[in-house]
Amino acid sequence: MGLIAVAAALAAGHLVAALIDPLASPFLAVGNAAIDLTPHPVKDFAIRAFGSNDKVVLLTGMAVVIAAAAALAGVLSRRGPLPGTLLATALGLVGVAAVLTRPALGPAAVSAPLTSLVVGVVVFRRLHGFARRAFPSHVDGELHGSGLDRRRFLFTSAAVVATACVAGVTGRFLGGRVDVEASRRAIRLTPDVAAPPIPAGADFAGAGTPAFITSNADFYRVDTALSVPRLRAEDWRLRVHGMVDRELVLTYEDLLSRPLVERTISLCCVSNEVGGRYISTANFIGVSLRDLLTEAGVRPGADQLVTRSADGWTCGTPVEDVGGDALLAIGMNGEPLPAEHGFPVRMVVPGLYGFVSATKWLVDAELTTFADFDAYWVKRDWARRAPIKTMSRIDRPKAFEQVPAGRFVAAGVAWAQHKGVDKVEVRIDGGAWRTTTLSTEVNVDTWRMWRVELDLPAGAHTLEVRATDRTGYTQTGDRAEPIPDGAAGWHAIAFTARS
């Protein structure tokens, strides 16, 4: 009964949410609130342990905990319906609290968790009443329950379960009624200025580096959204406001009618550990963000561009960093942005980590100051200003790999966005640093691959790598954690050469 009541409550809330805003679904709202409240060591652990499955793991974990609590409340309700009633009420209130704290939801959204609360309590008490009559206690040594009562209890339970399934499925269906894929498919993007073709020598994929351009399917994904915000290009509006001379409101059509430029840019996440995979490269198509800001007229003193996404996530970018190469991007590798990468419109500002520059599902841009506003991750102790650090990574050999002794080609990537990679060196077993061969440079805002031929004696080895950028800075061996402004240190790989 506990399980049935809670399932009915969640399904009813999900259905009501689908009619108002899919994000108001109590289950999703609680999950999203949990993400926002999770202390960063736990979040870092989740990202490390589960990678991009972290969201599935969170939702599954929530389902297991709720199911266990519901079953327990059911068992405790043998003598009276109070424990089950209290649990249904408490879960409903948690849903209400979660929805109230979601920044992107209006007051009407509380009706979804309130529906859950009422449905949970009513269903539990009704079933409990029927069950009491169907399966009375044996205290008086008498059995009052009739076959009719039992049938009624079972039929009601089955009917509630069936209705909950229908409500849940209808909720999903209605929630998906904003047809993002149709909106995407209808768009054809042809940049007015295409990116130069990628030269053949831009990667050393044969030696173990990634391909120079990351496919949309393989592009790393990092965000706080449990369900991807669903916006149609037709409905999209961007308001540019705050410390500006003229407020602007832009539509997707407005963007299409402006000059579309294509730029090859590497995006990188501040959570990337030394040696991590959270960097990818794409051909982004979009309009110049700097031109838009010039049109709006940024007032003196405005040093922060705060951007908001449809789900309420916020990002603060230094105005001085919004250079001529910053884009309001609508395309990625020749297609409209995939939904997970920010459709219909996102920001791309080369040189800055994603959390201070790469707002997906962008809907609002406000010129303000760093003194006046702290963005999402800044409130959680990450840095206000976070240029990407010069970094290098070993892709071959892999950690603890066994490779043949003798001639061996090691390879990897390096990046120093906005500056350019000047030199990559490696050393074996703490020996002398040796220069590697670099791939053909595409531009200073993208990664660059390196390779080097080694002569390996048999035995255990450690390979280390360091990059030097065009400002003359060489990566030091001093390690830094990703928080607050990006990991630092040399990537090292322990491996064995076998003769």
Ligand X SMILES: Nc1nc2c(c(=O)[nH]1)N[C@H]1C(S)=C(S)[C@@H](COP(=O)(O)O)O[C@H]1N2
CB 484 within 8 A of CB 355: no
Q: Does 3 bind Mo ion (CB under 5 A)?
A: no
CB of 358 to ligand X, least distance (A): 4
Size of the chain in residues: 499
Pull the structure tokens for residue 233: 């290009």
Q: For ligand X, give the closer residue by CB, 13 or 229.
A: 229
Q: For ligand X, give the closer residue by CB, 346 or 491.
A: 346
Q: Which secondary structure element, helix H or strand E, spans residue 40, and what is its range?
A: helix 40-50
Q: 483 exposed, middle or buried (CB, 10 Å; 0-12, 13-18, 19+)?
A: middle
Q: For Mo ion, give the closer residue by CB, 393 or 466.
A: 393
Range in contact with ligand X (rule: CB under 6 A) among 12-20, 88-96, 221-229, 414-422: 221-229
- Give the Cα separation of 168 and 218 in Å (integer): 31
Q: Does 442 bind ligand X (CB under 6 A)?
A: no
CB 449 within 8 A of CB 467: no
CB of 179 to ligand X, least distance (A): 21
Q: Does 99 bind ligand X (CB under 6 A)?
A: no
Binds ligand X by CB under 6 A, chosen from 269, 339, 388, 410 = 269
Nearest to 486, CA basis, from 340, 270, 290: 270
Q: Does 382 bind ligand X (CB under 6 A)?
A: no
Binds ligand X by CB under 6 A, chosen from 114, 358, 394, 442 = 358
Largest distance between two CA atoms of the chain:
91
Please tell me whether residue 451 adopts helix, strand or coil conformation.
Answer: strand
Report residue 493 CA to chain centroid gap: 28
> Per-residue x/- mask for ligand X, residues 280 to 319, rule CB under 6 A?
-----------------------------x---x------
Nearest to 12, CA basis, from 161, 171, 126, 128: 171
Range in contact with Mo ion (rule: CB under 5 A) among 163-171, 222-230, 407-415, 447-455: 222-230
Q: Restricting to residues 265-304, which ones interact with Mo ion according to CB under 5 A? A: 269
Q: Does 313 bind Mo ion (CB under 5 A)?
A: no
Binds ligand X by CB under 6 A, chosen from 98, 267, 289, 328 = 267
- Give the Cα separation of 307 and 365 in Å (integer): 4
Binds Mo ion by CB under 5 A, chosen from 35, 71, 100, 222 = 222
CB of 229 to ligand X, least distance (A): 7
- Give the Cα separation of 398 and 494 in Å (integer): 8
Q: Restricting to residues 111-130, which ones interact with Mo ion according to CB under 5 A? A: none
Binds ligand X by CB under 6 A, chosen from 359, 417, 436, 468 = 359
- Give the Cα separation of 275 and 475 in Å (integer): 14
Q: For ligand X, give the closer residue by CB, 295 or 340.
A: 340
Tokens 């105005």 belong to: 319
CB of 8 to ligand X, least distance (A): 32
Nearest to 115, CA basis, from 36, 37, 18: 18
Q: Point out which residues bind ligand X (CB under 6 A).
A: 219-225, 267, 269, 309, 313, 341, 354-355, 358-361
Q: Point out which residues bind Mo ion (CB under 5 A).
A: 222, 269, 354-355
